[in-house]
Structures are given as C-alpha cells and as structure tokens.
Amino acid sequence: MQFKFKFKFKFKFKFKFKFSLTWYKAFHFEYYGRGEVLEYYPPPAVCSTGSGEHPLPAVLRVPQYTADVQDLCSRVACTRRNVMVRDGFCCQYCGSRRDLTIDHVHPASKGGKETWDNLVTACMRCNQKKSDRSLAQLGWKLKRKPKEPTPFEIGIVAGIATSDILRPPPEWEAYIAPYRERLETYRQAAVEAGLLNLIDDD
C-alpha cells in the first residue's frame, strides 16, 4: 500500500491516554482496525491510497497498547524543570518562590542520588544554609515528601510540545484541556519565580 501527501504540514496525533504519534502510524491504527477515531482533521488533510483518499485522524482511542508505550506514558524524566513544576516553584524548606535552585535532600557529597525522592526545589538561601547537612541535623522538615509525579500531575503529554498543549489544534481542544489548565497554573507560578523560560522552552 502506498501513501501520498496531499498537504505540506507535519501533524502529530494524540491517543486517549495522552501521547502522540505520526500521522502515518495513526492512519495505520485506523486502517487495520486497531483504534477508534474520535476526531478527524478537516480537508485538505487527507492521504491517498490505492483505494482512494482518506481523512487523517486527529484523535485516536485504542483498546490495547504495548508495555513499552505504557512505560513511555507513565514515567516522567527527573529534570530541573520537572522537579520545580512538581514542587509548584516553591522552596520545600521555607516556601519562598524566589532565587530557586535544586537541592539534594540527602547530600550528593554523602552519596545522595539525583532521583525523584531525593531532589527538591529550594531557594538559594536555604540551599546554602543546609549545605551538606541532613534535615535531622538542622531540625528541618520538607513541605511534602518528594516522589515521582505522573505526567498528568505536571501537565505533560508524551511527544507533544508545551506550545501545542497551550495552543492546540481545534480538534485536540476538548481532550487536551485538563493538561492546558495545569500548565497555565504552572506558568503563573513560574512567572512569580522569574523562571517562565523553564516552561516555555520545553
């Protein structure tokens, strides 16, 4: 089966459980009955096959998916951006929203790892004051116990850029709305912290 483009735009398509794939794979899911199309892109977004022209899927729902795709959609990279988003751009020691950095709860100099349960957002003042001491030594407590967030908790859709979540195609609007609302909340917190670039550069 051969395919020909009828347009020059590059599209990605979102599954119900929130990740994206190329138009080619999306069409194959529909063509072979492996997915239910919830929304199509309007003409001229079509592809041509030996049996004629077909509209291109914009949103798909699939009943089954492989383990590697499930893992892709359920894990979040442990990055500076994602740690700060998880913590609401707020120092987990004092609550400050200014001069934010990342701190190792168990000091790196004493074997602390860069993992979700050992990294927290901290203001420069608290980070420097804590230095390589433990919370027990300082008598400090965290605002909340650090843990790995879900993609939904920090407004991530695997394979879709932040700009597309904030300004999605009309066909995605109803499905992407909960993620956009979360991102808008995080953007406001990032503005207050002077770190909007962490969100918008994603």
Does the pLDDT value for residue 2 go beyond 70? Answer: no
Question: 185 in a domain, yes or no?
Answer: yes
Answer yes or no: is 146 within a domain: no
Domain shared by 89 and 112, yes or no? yes
Do 50 and 19 share a structural domain? yes
Q: Which residues have C-beta within 8 Å of that of residue 38, sequence separation ≥ 6?
A: 16, 58, 59, 60, 61, 175
Residue 143, in any domain of the structure = no
pLDDT tens readout for residues 25-52: 888 788 788 888 899 988 888 877 777 8
- Under a CB-based contact definition with an 8 Å cutoff, are residues 175 and 14 in contact? yes
Nearest one of 175, 178, 129 to 153, comparing CA atoms:
178
Question: Is-above-0.75 flag for pTM?
Answer: no
The residue segments making up the domain with residue 190 are: 151-200
171 and 122 share one domain:
no
Q: What is the pLDDT of residues 154-202, one digit of tens each?
A: 887 767 788 888 888 899 888 888 888 888 888 899 998 999 887 775 5
Whether residue 71 is contained in a domain is answered as no
Q: How would residue 99 be classed by pLDDT, with cut points 50, 70 and 90?
A: very high
Both 164 and 195 in one domain: the answer is yes
Q: pLDDT, tens digit, for every residue of 68-77?
A: 444 445 678 9
81 vs 64 pLDDT, higher one: 81
Distances (CA, A) of 97 to 47, 94, 154: 50, 9, 18
Residue length, the chain?
202
Note whether residue 144 is domain-resident. Answer: no
* Residues 100, 59 share a domain: no
Please count the structural domains in the chain: 3
Dist CA 171 CA 120 (whole Å): 37
Q: Is pLDDT at 119 greater than 90 in this prediction? A: yes
d(CA 51, CA 34): 19
Q: Domain containing 131 — which CATH number? A: 1.10.30.50
> Is the model's pLDDT at 14 over the cut of 80?
no
Same domain, 85 and 133: yes
Q: Report if residue 145 sits inside a domain.
A: no
Q: Are residues 93 and 51 in the same domain?
A: no
Section 48-70 average pLDDT: 72
Banded model confidence at residue 64, pLDDT cuts 50, 70, 90: low
- Do both 84 and 120 map to the same domain? yes
**Residue 182 pLDDT:** 87
Residue 22 lies in a domain: yes
Q: Is residue 34 part of a domain?
A: yes
Written as six digits, the tokens of 184 are 């808008």
